[in-house]
Each structure stands twice: as structure tokens, then as C-alpha cells.
Structure 1
């Protein structure tokens, strides 16, 4: 489909104030950092049913946004972004029980941050390179952002210290932090006594692959935006115009994987009825956060938005854990949280000071 049925003229650019991009970053950070809270006290079994209902919430959010922005053209290419996100999500099912939450998130969130930032900044996969006024600030900020994730890894929640078998559900939380674990329902893990080095290596590889998939989620929509004049004349620079296509890809991929799961379980999927509504609400919150991410990409460029939105949600999640969930306590944890947060603030300031250059 070439999406050129309505006009042969390129959609004119509407200059969006840069502050809109930073407001979108803030919205994305707050909702990404909070979207697990509705599911904090509900079990989700093996996570497959939970992720399906979460994806239903994401798609409904996409439908509402699509109606609000008056049903822009549907771009099938963007379905691939949704497929990539869901596939990365499913991979985490096999990764976290073997390598644990902390190492798994460190691996996939670091690779996610790097791929998302680098693909936009250097123009990989056919994208137009997104320049900044001060590249050195941008590079240093991204490096500090990655390092801050290592600092946050040292935080331990009460449940982890008590060896409770818990794990992040198969939802992409875009951040290298393991501090919202209590907000993540219980799932059985593989006993560490039977985990071989080979299993750890395979799980680590899958975690990196998942991060790469997460980092490429926006590539199809950004590609369309970068090739509006020659290939996609009905496309616009507005990131919200690609929401419905992406979220439809998420729902289709999730339904496909869930169907395979149901067949494998012989039509007896593991479903906790009380977790269905929390999953749906979490999906709505994730959908709002991802919408903010798309707008931020369009206004600020991935070289700016990806690092900022990658480092922010973990701090919000940690604050939920400290003040609401009460699973982070103790002077040691507070000191680590403070140090990691200061590093992230420094990284954010440097990234903002690098300043995007409009192509």
C-alpha cells in the first residue's frame, strides 16, 4: 500500500514548539514509570494471559487516540514496530526466570537505549541522521545514563532479599532499574541450582536481542516520516498519526503468540481473573506513555528523546516503591537511589543541552 490515494502533494510540515516535545517526554516518563502499579497486588501466573489483556488495553487506547486525531492514514509498515515490541516482550518470559530481573533488564535496556539512540543519531536502517548542536554532551549523557542503570542494580527490595519468587512480567518498561518489583506479580523462576552456564549465556543473548527489538520499535514510523516526499506523500510529522498502526501490530502479534500458547496448553491457559482489569488498565497507561514517546521522537528526535525516556521511568518506579509499595527501605537503598538519581539528572541535563537540530 503506498498510502497515496487522497493526494499527490506532500503533507505540509506543522512546526511544533520544542516545549511540546519535552512535555511529551514528561508524560511518557510518568506513565511508563507508573503503569505497573495497577497490577501491584495481583498474581499473573506465567504472564502470557496478562500480556494479552494488557495489549487489548493498548489497542483500545490507540483506537481512542485515532478517533481524536480524526483517523489519519493507516500505514501497514508500522505494524512491524508493534510486532517487534511484542516479540521482545515474549522473549523476556524465557530470560528473567534464568538470569533474574536485574541482569535481564540491564542487558535489554542497555541494548534498547543504544539501538534506539544510535539508529536515530547515525541514521541507521534508512533513517535520516538526527544531529544535535553539541554531540559531545549527547554522547556523555548517553554514557552516564547507561552507567546509572548499573548503580540502580544494587538496590534490593524486601521481597527479593527474602527470596520470594517474583519477576517482572513480560512488559517492556524501558528502564534499567529493578526497583518496581513489588508492582510486578508473582511468577515462578527456574531454581538457580539447575541453571547452567550455557542457559545463562543463551538467556543473556535473548535479553540483548529483546533490547534490540525494543530499540527498533520506532524505526518503521520514523522511516515513513523521513521519506514523506519520495515514498509516503500522505504521511505527516505528527507522531500520533502512527499510533493506531503500531498498536494494531501489537494486538495482532500478541493474539498470535497467545493463540500458540493456548494450543500448547491444550486450551487450558493460566488465567487469574482478578488480574484482567489491572492488566487492561496497565495497557491503557502504557499506550499513553508510548504516544508521548512517539510525539517526543517527532519533535525532539530519537537522539534526544530515547535517552531521556529511557532513564526517567526507573526513578518514578523507585519512588512508587519507596512511598507507596513500601518495598524499598533502608539507608543503603536510599543512598544508592540518591546517587543513581543524581547521575540520571546529570545525564538528562547534558542530553537536553546537546539540543536537537531540525532536519
Structure 2
């Protein structure tokens, strides 16, 4: 651990300067939102089974993106500490696969997106976990924007897809059977316990997502410990993506052992998973760059609320599993509220 926290470098010291203007930070936010909201579209119409194999091939695509980004920015130093951020993300992603069958996609996303937004925003704004507090010019606007962003998430929870409707009917049928059984009370208690566990794991998953950038931000904030560190977030991408691939491989090996060397693999979904990983890798690159230019207090709320809107738009226009005037109305209202939240966050302005 001492090695991770006190990396000694022997090459030329690089100045801790900001190589990008403010507008580049907002451009990175747009790129991140679009790609995060669209990265699962290539795989939307293919079977992914339990999702573990899908995630592994997705992480391969992520790592390849990291290699390309690393070459583009001139092969900067490798930071072992940033590997931890990649491990945190993979761990949160693995948890999310267990959470969705328990809580459903809507509630799960609301819980982990909210906890992700809060942890990521608060750790940067208040200087948690050894980070330097990031001030904005108008804190009140920043607080208002974050609060409104959370409220918009509650509104989007009201959207019901066709898949959700089918699951609801299945659950109602199951509930009817359970009520007629002699163990009604025990079954109800078990379902309640599972729901509580699902909510806890969803929140934990969001916390892990929110801490992904903490190691790289820590390095940028402590130039005296890391003389080669710069404010260019892209310099930390390869280290992070290596952590993602490494931890994903470990989880996948455990999965294969548990499945007795019979993992679920859909040949059709391998290439879409790879493409999804490349898109996610581009989105995450935009995210870390926006953090460096704008600060987490601004980039985290903006990027946390945007992808859900884009993903819902894909569901309406392309996947077409969201239909009906009620859903469209909720989408429009929720999107307008998110625009208001984004305006307040942008008006808070980085210092």
C-alpha cells in the first residue's frame, strides 16, 4: 500500500497545468452523456444471459479504448494507485447484476445513480478521502442543481416499459400463488428481506461508482507526492482501464469455477459487448477529462443525470419498449426538470 500511495518517479518532472479550456470540459460532458446513454444500444436486441460473460467482453473493449487513448496522449506514466478506481467500478458493475433481478431496473438505477451522484459530487465539493475541496463561484446554484437532479430521477422512476409490465404481471401471478400457500408469512418476510438487501446493494454499487475517480483526483491534488502528475485526466485512463480488465478477469474466473466450467456465453452478444465497451470507454474518458477541467462538483451532477435521458430516448425511438402517452408525458416533464438542474449547475461556474 505504501508503494501505491508514494510512487517514486525518476523521469523529468511534468508541470501540474490545465491543458484544456473550460469549453472543452463542457464538450467532454456532452460526449460522455451521449456515449453513456447509448453504450448498451448495440447489445439491446441480443441475449446476454446472466450478464457475466457479457461484462467480461465489454471490459475487453474498455481496455482496448484505454490503450488507444494512452497512445494518443503520448504514453504518460502508469499510476498503480488508479488501478483501484477500475476495481471499484467493476465491483459496482458486478453488484448491479445481482440487484436488478431483485429490485427491477427502474428502482435499481434510481438508487445507484442517486448515491453515485451524491458521493462523486460531495467527495469533490467537500474534499472527502484526502481530496482538495473544489469550490464553485455560486455554491447555492450548485446545491439547487444537485437537488433538482435527484428529484428528476424520482420522476423518471414512473416510466413503465413493456418489459416492466410483463415482469409485473409475472410477479402478480406469483404473489397470488404465494398468498394461497400455507407459508405466506415466511415468504412475505423473505421477500421483504431480499428487497432490503437489494436496495442496500444498489446503494453500495452507486457508492463504488462514485469513488471511481478518487484515486486519479488524489494524484492530481497531491503534486508533491506525484511530481509527474498533470491536470490532464486522460493521462490516468490506461491505469484505470487496466484495473477494470484485471478485476473483471478475476470475477470471471470465479464465475467460471462456480459454474463448473460451463459459463453462459451467447456468441451473438460478444461483438456487441465489445462495441459497448468501446463506447463506455469513450464516455468514461470524457468524464475524467470533464472532472479535470470543470471539477467534480460540476461534472458529476451533469454526467449523472444526462445518460438516463438519452437511454430513455433510445428506448422510445429505437428499442420501442417504452410506449404510451403517460410514459411520453413523464419523459418530457422529467427531461425539462433535468434541463433546469443542468442550467443551475452550469451557472454555479468552476473557480
The normalised TM-score by structure 2 is: 0.91
C-alpha distance in 2, partners of 1:210/1:159?
23
Which of residues 29, 32, 46 is equivalent to 1:42? 46
| CA pair 129-165 structure 1, distance change in 2 beyond 3 A | farther
C-alpha distance in 1, partners of 2:63/2:244?
8
C-alpha distance in 1, partners of 2:169/2:58?
22
Which of residues 140, 145, 151 is equivalent to 2:149? 145
1:242 is aligned to: 236
Contact 2:62/2:241 (8 A) holds in 1: yes
Following superposition, the deviation at residue 12 of structure 1 comes to 4.2
2:195 is aligned to: 200
Contact 2:125/2:134 (8 A) holds in 1: yes
Larger Rg over CA atoms:
2
Following superposition, the deviation at residue 331 of structure 1 comes to 1.1
The 5 A counterparts of 1:1-150 are 1=3, 2-7=7-12, 9-150=13-154
Contact 2:19/2:231 (8 A) holds in 1: no
Contact 2:17/2:231 (8 A) holds in 1: yes
Following superposition, the deviation at residue 308 of structure 1 comes to 0.3
Following superposition, the deviation at residue 141 of structure 1 comes to 0.4
Task: Summarize deviations over 1:37-75 as a string: whole Å, max 9, x none.
Answer: 000110011110000000000000000111111110000
5+ residue gaps in structure 1? Answer: 167-190
C-alpha distance in 1, partners of 2:237/2:169?
35
5+ residue gaps in structure 2? Answer: 179-186
Following superposition, the deviation at residue 162 of structure 1 comes to 2.7
Cα RMSD for the two superposed structures = 1.5
Paired residues in the alignment total 331
2:183 is aligned to: none
Q: Does residue 215 of structure 2 align to residue 215 of structure 1?
A: no
* SS of aligned partner of 1:162: helix
Following superposition, the deviation at residue 14 of structure 1 comes to 3.7
The normalised TM-score by structure 1 is: 0.89
C-alpha distance in 1, partners of 2:66/2:14?
25
Contact 1:238/1:295 (8 A) holds in 2: yes
Following superposition, the deviation at residue 325 of structure 1 comes to 1.5
* SS of aligned partner of 1:196: helix
C-alpha distance in 2, partners of 1:353/1:45?
44
Normalized per residue, which structure has more helix?
Answer: 2
Query: Which region of structure 1 is more displaced relative to structure 2, 273-282 or 192-201?
Result: 192-201
Task: Summarize deviations over 1:279-324 as a string: whole Å, max 9, x none.
Answer: 0000000000000001000000000000000111111111111111
C-alpha distance in 2, partners of 1:165/1:220?
44
1:307 is aligned to: 301
Contact 2:29/2:302 (8 A) holds in 1: yes
1:291 is aligned to: 285
C-alpha distance in 1, partners of 2:141/2:273?
39
